[in-house]
Amino acid sequence: MARGATAPLYQQIADELRTQITSRALRAGAQLPTELALADKHGVTRATARQAIGVLINEGLVVSSRPRGHFVRQVDRMIYRPQSEWRPQPASPEMDRFMEEQTSLGREPSQVIGVELVTPPDEVARRLDLDSDQTAVVRRRVRFIDGMPFNTNDSYYPMTLVEGSPIMYPADIPQGANQVLTELGAEQVRAIDEIEVRMPTPDEVHRLDLSAGVPVAVHRLTGYTHDGRPVRCTINVLPGDRHVILFERAKPAPEHETDSTTPGGEPHRVDGSLADRGTQ
Amino acid sequence: MARGATAPLYQQIADELRTQITSRALRAGAQLPTELALADKHGVTRATARQAIGVLINEGLVVSSRPRGHFVRQVDRMIYRPQSEWRPQPASPEMDRFMEEQTSLGREPSQVIGVELVTPPDEVARRLDLDSDQTAVVRRRVRFIDGMPFNTNDSYYPMTLVEGSPIMYPADIPQGANQVLTELGAEQVRAIDEIEVRMPTPDEVHRLDLSAGVPVAVHRLTGYTHDGRPVRCTINVLPGDRHVILFERAKPAPEHETDSTTPGGEPHRVDGSLADRGTQ
DNA sequence: CGGTGCTCATTGGCTAGACAATACAGCCAG
DNA sequence: CTGGCTGTATTGTCTAGCCAATGAGCACCG
């Protein structure tokens, strides 16, 4: 495997730089050698040095700031906890160690970009059990932290359900959308979370101000009433360099006590009709 | 925004191809025009056409197979369900629609690569509450499906806990590791799942046979006993193009009934000591 | 003291061309 | 019909060099 001698030059250069980065010889935020300096040092042209740096950029290790230079990316992730819709405070005491945050939280202008009436995209219609001609209300927002876009959050509700309720108006809902659903007689008591990982679309790159080498997690939440009726479908797009997704679980009350082997269990191939963005 | 006229040539070419892919004019598996054909068509050099294709490769839309050509990537994801360690069958009936799989499951050679005694990496030691000199047992495996590497799975256990148990031997554990822990008087009844998204390391690229433009999800599972003692820490690396992570949740029994606003809740900045791979 | 414009180092974009590596098809000999 | 060889199309790697765009510092001027 380690063919060393025959590895392409740009790989060798990239490897050397990567080692310096992972070993912290080059710290987060530090500047890399300029393309010309790299090229000189290794006796190659600037194009080859550029190719080496390109590798690191696509690995998400390096950002380039023209024309200042290339720099080691610094990431700090914030905790994203889907369960907080029901449990503002974690239930497990163990959770504490993950929450020792520098509580910079607070400021969260949670800018609701708008409310629209739409015929929902397929992936949403299927999850909400809507026919292709039924409309849905979508509340789109982009959340910011310190003025930086942080994630996007599109919540779809069946139009027939939320008609006339505060959900239809682009104002903040102080008591929360869940409370509104409860008052409408459609309390959300169960939810299914799907998390998918991929590179962002150009649109997402633009809306979230992503740089190269940053993947996103797509978190799809479908909420159900007690009798299994879907009442909302939320699609969150979370930049990978800004989030850690956190769940806490407890072993369910013993019914039949069937212990399985390992987490992850048997993989099931996803039904094509639900495997969205099949080729992207 | 639509600067049109001044967008770089390689971007224009990439945009055109991307449109063809997302609109399914170019289906999954279809071959793209050759670099030379693209260059001729747009009146640019091969280098520029190459750059355009490079964009799509890093977006995960295209794979290249030398010297046959470039092709539209096809993805099909399998369901990965951390909760299956306790619930082989989903509890929510709603889950059914996500599980209509072509049940290709079965074959899962679950190849245990080995069992080692190690001083665990920092990220694991912290989660297992081990001092830096204490050792842990790690069971490393790479799971395959249809001969293709599918994900990696490294489970760490405190050495003092599992000494002498079947966990220390590189054979399959028919009853499951959880059962062994229970017999050792350390039943895992709670767990915390962390999911982080990033580009793979070169090592992961190699072990999982990843191609460019495929991010990974890192799933860290920490299991606790009834009295809050950590008994295992599992690190799963899941290629983004092969997995959908699925959770099901129910609203907890009402204690104080505090409804929050939106899923995701307030972001908390992650404590530096737990924000692993800070600069990578 | 403050603003205004210049210079410059550095990255971005692109051309032109050379040679290497390799899967695949097609041909030829047995 | 089979096995091996060869040619070819296509992508991978690299050189050499050009001009454009731009943030930052600096000099100059009001």
pLDDT band for position A209 (cuts 50, 70, 90): very high
Which residue in the set A240, A250, A278 is minimally distant from B215, CB to CB?
Answer: A240
- Which pLDDT score, from 0 to 100, does residue A112 have? 76
Report the nucleotide nearest the CA of residue B7, measured to C1'. C13
What is the pLDDT of chain A when averaged over all its residues?
87
A53-85, pLDDT tens digit by residue? 999 999 999 999 999 999 999 999 999 999 999
For tokens 């969150």, the residue is A236
List, for residues A114-131, the tens digit of each pLDDT value.
Answer: 999 999 999 999 999 999
All structural domains of chain A with their residue ranges: 8-72, 78-245
Residue of A nearest to B56 (CA): A280
Taking CB atoms within 8 Å and a gap of at least 24, the contacts of A118-121 are A120/A156, A120/A233
Amino acid in the structure at residue A82: P
Class of domain A78-245: alpha beta
Chain B: closest CA distance from residue A45 (Å): 15
Size of interface A-B (CB pairs under 8 A): 387
**CA–CA distance, B235 with A4 (Å, rounded to integer):** 30
* CA atoms of B270 and A101, how far apart (whole Å): 5
* CA separation for the pair B212, B214 (Å, rounded): 6
Query: Straight-line distance from CA A48 to C1' D11, in Å?
Result: 17
What pLDDT does B89 receive? 80
CATH code for the domain defined by B4-72: 1.10.10.10
- Distance (Å) from CA B48 to C1' C17? 14
- With H, G, I as helix, E, B as strand and everything else as coil, classify residue B210: coil
Strand D contacts (Cβ < 7 A) comprise A 8-11, 43-48, 51, 66-68; B 32, 34-36, 46-47, 50, 64, 66-70
Rounded to whole angstroms, the Cα distance separating A108 from A170 reads 17
Chain B interface mutation, best of A198, A231, A238, A277, highest count of B Cβ atoms under 10 Å: A198
Centre a 10 Å sphere on the Cβ of residue A132 and count the other Cβ atoms it contains: 8
- How confident is the model over A128-140, as a mean pLDDT? 94
What number of residues does chain B have? 280
Q: Do B260 and A86 touch (CB under 8 A)?
A: yes
User: Within a 13 Å sphere around the CA of A144, how many CA atoms are in the beta-carbon half?
Assistant: 9
Minimum-distance CB partner of A192 among B190, B248, B261:
B248
Q: What H or E segment, with its residue span, contains residue A152?
A: strand A148-158
The tens-digit pLDDT sequence of chain B (280 residues) is 443 448 999 999 999 999 999 999 999 999 999 999 999 999 999 999 999 999 999 999 999 999 999 999 999 999 999 999 998 888 888 888 777 554 445 555 667 789 999 999 999 999 999 998 899 999 999 998 877 899 999 999 999 999 999 999 988 898 889 999 999 999 999 999 999 999 999 999 999 999 999 999 999 999 999 999 999 999 999 999 999 999 999 998 776 444 444 555 455 555 433 334 434 3
**Between chains, do B262 and A197 touch, taking CB under 8 Å as contact?**
no
Q: Which residue of B has its CA nearest to A25?
A: B279
Architecture of domain A8-72: Orthogonal Bundle (1.10)
